Structure 1
Amino acid sequence: MSDSQPMTEAVPVTWRTRFSPRPGLTRLRESWIAVAQIVIAATCGYLIGRHLLGHETPMIAATVAISSLGLARDARPGRVAETVVGMLTGILVSEALRFALGSGWWQLAVALAVTMLLARFLSPSPQFAIAAAIQAAIAMILPLAPVPFSRLLDGVIGGVLAVVVTAVLPRNPATAAIRDARAFFAQFDAAAERLVVAVRRGDRLRAERGLEKARGLQAPLEAWRASLDSGRSIARISPFLRGRRAELERHARILQAMDLAMRNLRVVGRRIVYVCEDRSPRDVPADAMAEIVRAATLVGASIDDISQEPVARETLLAIARRLDPAAMLPGASLGEQALVSALRPLVVDLLVASGVPPAEARGAIPRI
């Protein structure tokens, strides 16, 4: 890229871009299992309440199932169960107050106030309180049930079915995690590559932008962590996902190591900003860092293809053995040697991400 070439450029937006069906088709592909879970749980809840228990309008069974599952990708059984408990709390409070005070506008206000205060006491989650309040309002506004607390039973049925269906018809635990991992590695590589160009050219402005990109990696990492935690939780209870557990645990090991690598990339970025003050190009640190970036790309590729893991491991081990600041940069300034020293923890983290035990990864780095 030449110095005169702009770093950003306008992207034309046509009517085909605005009205493309691809985003909608992507959402359909990613949501069909969630839709199936909701339809099955809600329908079964209604049928059990209506035909097995004889409840005339078992709407609560369906609404609890729908609301607790939802279309969000975070379908961890623990989260679903927490939402169910919040809804049952609202139904219980509403039914008890209706039995004691009757129904009306002020009874609704009292039920909502008591439910939300109790929910806030029980859980720090705002969603817990809102779920409880919604179900309390529904239970209070619906016509009085012939049997007291029958709606609570409907809610239990809907909640149990919601938890069961996450195990019997689980959402693919790896799809969202892999997608989020790819997004993280793409941004990690972009930040690191910009830092490579900066140190190769002695470009402080580019170094600062690379550091800014490195600081922006927290959000994609947390998105990856959330989707991976959800997948691992589902895989623990679903007998159909037993074969995915080892794969998801490997992903968790990569994520934990990349969390540290991200932090060390910021340290490297700050060092590069400092050494670029004099605008002098530094090819040796740039070459070393470029090799590290290529190895990090291999680590990212191993998320999809485990055969890339040993390739990344051998590449990183070859880099690690050369990371002696005095040997790489004899007679160089302390700033340059400090930059090479900052690359050492980054390589250790990437080695751990590639499957090397932490002690062995640290031992691969020359002592200084």
Structure 2
Amino acid sequence: MPEPRDAPETSPLTAAIPVTWRRRLSLRPGLERVRDSGAAIAQIVIAATGAFLLAHYLLGHEAPLLAATVSISSLGLARDARPRKVVETVLGMLTGILISELLRLVFGSGPWQLALTLAVTLLVARFLMPSPQFAVAAAIQSAIAMVLPAGPLPFLRLADGAIGGALAIVMTALLPRNPMSTELRDARVLFTALDAAMGRVVQGLRRGDAVRADRGLEKARGLQGDVDAWRTSLESAQAVSALSPFLRSRRIELARHARVLQSVDLAARNLRVVARRAAYVVRDGEPRPAIAEPLAELQRAAGVVAHALEDISAEPAAREALLAIARRLDPAAMMPDASQGELALLAALRPFAVDLLVASGLTHAEAAAAIPRI
């Protein structure tokens, strides 16, 4: 009879982290969602109510349900509230209502007519637009229009939907969702995650600790989600600022943030290279303070770059701090007796420093010229 195998050891990188009952019952996540959705909720309530009242009192429709549903569905609670996406959703829903009204005139209403309406709507919507959301929005509104009782005149529901869509677009411009605060919050999340990843790699190098270096690599690999979240909210803010008269003055600031985002995206990719080489180098358990120190300085300078997003007066300080580090990044001069792996790790800091310099306001050519030639 074979002997039972020993249970495999759990890696500190993959060990489960217990979640306490206090964390499960915390009210904080719910309160944060309410805070983040406040402007979106106000948009939806005003647009839907306004559309219903306009259709009811201006056009005399008894129950203009589609005026409200089109407003609600087109605005939604999604983070990405770019006007283009709102317009696409409105057009999708109006397409669905139009198809439903046409088919109802020809075939009447009933179960098989509903099936036919959905099939035709989805086929037409997929032909018109590549977005799946466009097709789903069209299908939902076509189903509602088909199921609702017929009005005294054809295409009244299309007029209701048009009013709802128009109010949604107007609310996007006149009552924007404060996209600046959202994109700044996403920027802070990214820089906090970047700082944590760099900190773990620095600890691993200072102590010769492979577990900390591996944790830093793991954190560096997880940065892309935060980069994508900031990009989504920043693009949404730029689109809204181009339409809203209240946010046009923020275009220059948003353009600066876009430049920082592009550079930090590249920096995050280069940090993965740095972390991977650091994890390899410290496998022997030997501390590398000579490599840890310049990375720690870059970490502190990256924090100043993050602060400069909200206070542009801090940008020159970030730039000078990064230049002071960049001018010393000559692997042979820093560690004359370094191994091949150590030299490769030091060399990986160079493009990482260039990306942070560009984030601080230099052009790529100026940043590259600050690095010693090797």
Instruction: Determine the C-alpha separation between the residues in 1 that align with 2:126 and 2:282.
Output: 52
Match of 1:237 among 237, 243, 249: 243
For residue 138 of structure 1, what is the aligned residue in structure 2? Answer: 144
| d(CA) in 1 for partners of 2:251, 2:132 | 31
Of 211, 215, 236, the residue aligned with 1:209 is 215
SS at match of 2:309: coil
CA distance in 2, matches of 1:30, 1:10: 28
| Corresponding letter in the other structure for 2:160 | D
Instruction: Count residues with an aligned counterpart.
Output: 362
Give the equivalent residue in structure 1 for 2:257: 251
Is 1:72 the counterpart of 2:70 in the alignment?
A: no
| Equivalent residue number for residue 46 of structure 1 | 52
Counterpart check, 1:93 vs 2:99: yes
Residues 142, 271 of structure 1: alpha-carbon distance in 2 compared, 3 angstrom cutoff: same
Partner of 1:344: 350
Q: Report the RMSD for the aligned CA atoms in angstroms.
A: 1.8
Secondary structure of residue in 1 paired with 2:310? coil
Counting only pairs closer than 5 Å after superposition, residues 310-329 of structure 1 correspond to structure 2 as 310-329=316-335
Q: Aligned match of 2:69 in 63, 67, 90?
A: 63
| Of 244, 262, 276, the match for 2:268 | 262
Which runs of 5 or more structure 2 residues have no equivalent in the other structure?
1-11
Question: Quick one: which amino acid aligns to residue 120 of structure 1?
Answer: R
Q: Give the whole-Å Cα distance in 1 for the aligned partners of 2:57 and 2:318.
A: 59
Task: Give the superposition deviation at 1:281.
Answer: 1.6
Alignment match, 1:3: none
Cα deviations across residues 293-336 of structure 1 (Å, max 9, x unaligned)?
11111112222332322211110000011011111111322221
Q: Quick one: which amino acid aligns to residue 154 of structure 2?
A: P
Structure 1 residue identity aligned to 2:20: V
- In structure 1, C-alpha distance between the alignment counterparts of 2:35 and 2:250, rounded to whole Å: 20
- What's the CA shift string for 1:15-48, capped at 9, x where partnerless? 5x55444433333332222122112211221122
Q: Which amino acid aligns with 2:158?
A: L
> Kindly tell me: are residues 117 and 13 of structure 1, through their superposed partners in 2, closer, same or farther at Cα, counting changes over 3 Å?
same
1:9 Cα offset (Å): 9.9
How many Å apart are 1:121 and its aligned residue?
2.1
CA distance in 2, matches of 1:113, 1:341: 59
Residue 104 of structure 1 is aligned with which of 102, 110, 113?
Answer: 110
Structure 2 counterpart of 1:124, from 130, 154, 167: 130
1:269-311 alpha-carbon deviations (Å, 9 max, x no partner): 1211222233222111111111111111111222233232221
Counterparts of 1:304 and 1:241 in 2: how far apart (Å)? 16
Letter aligned with residue 258 of structure 2:
A
Letter of the 2:35 counterpart = R
Compute the displacement of 1:194 (Å): 0.8
Residue equivalent to 2:299: 293
Greater shift in the superposed pair: 19-28 or 332-341:
19-28
The residue number in structure 2 matching 1:30 is 36
TM-score, normalization: structure 2?
0.92
Paired residue secondary structure (2:351) = helix
> Mean Cα displacement is larger for which, 221-230 or 204-213?
204-213
Q: Distance in 2 between matches of 1:276 and 1:112?
A: 61
Rounded to whole Å, the distance in 1 between the matches of 2:49 and 2:287 is 67
Q: CA deviation at 1:173?
A: 1.3
Structure 1: distance between partners of 2:37 and 2:278: 43
Which residue of structure 1 lines up, in the alignment, with residue 4 of structure 2? Answer: none
Q: Percent identity?
A: 63
Q: Which moved more, 1:157-166 or 1:103-112?
A: 157-166
Name the structure 2 match of 1:189.
195
- Which residue type is aligned with residue 49 of structure 1? A
Aligned partner of 2:363 among 352, 357, 361: 357
Amino acid at match of 2:280: Y
CA distance in 2, matches of 1:161, 1:59: 14
Give, in angstroms, the shift of residue 248 of structure 1. 1.4
C-alpha change, 1:9 and 1:67, in structure 2 (3 Å) is closer
Letter in 1 for 2:364: P
How far apart, in 2, do the equivalents of 1:98 and 1:201 lie? 74
Closer, same or farther: CA 211–23 of 1 in aligned 2, 3 Å: closer
1:281 to 2:260 alignment? no
Which aligned segments of 4 or more residues in structure 1 are displaced greater than 6 angstroms?
6-12
Amino acid across the alignment from 2:195: D
Alpha-carbon displacement from aligned partner over 1:96-149 (angstroms, at most 9, x marks no partner)? 110111100000000011111222222222221211111011100011121111
Distance between the aligned counterparts of 1:91 and 1:362, measured in 2?
A: 57
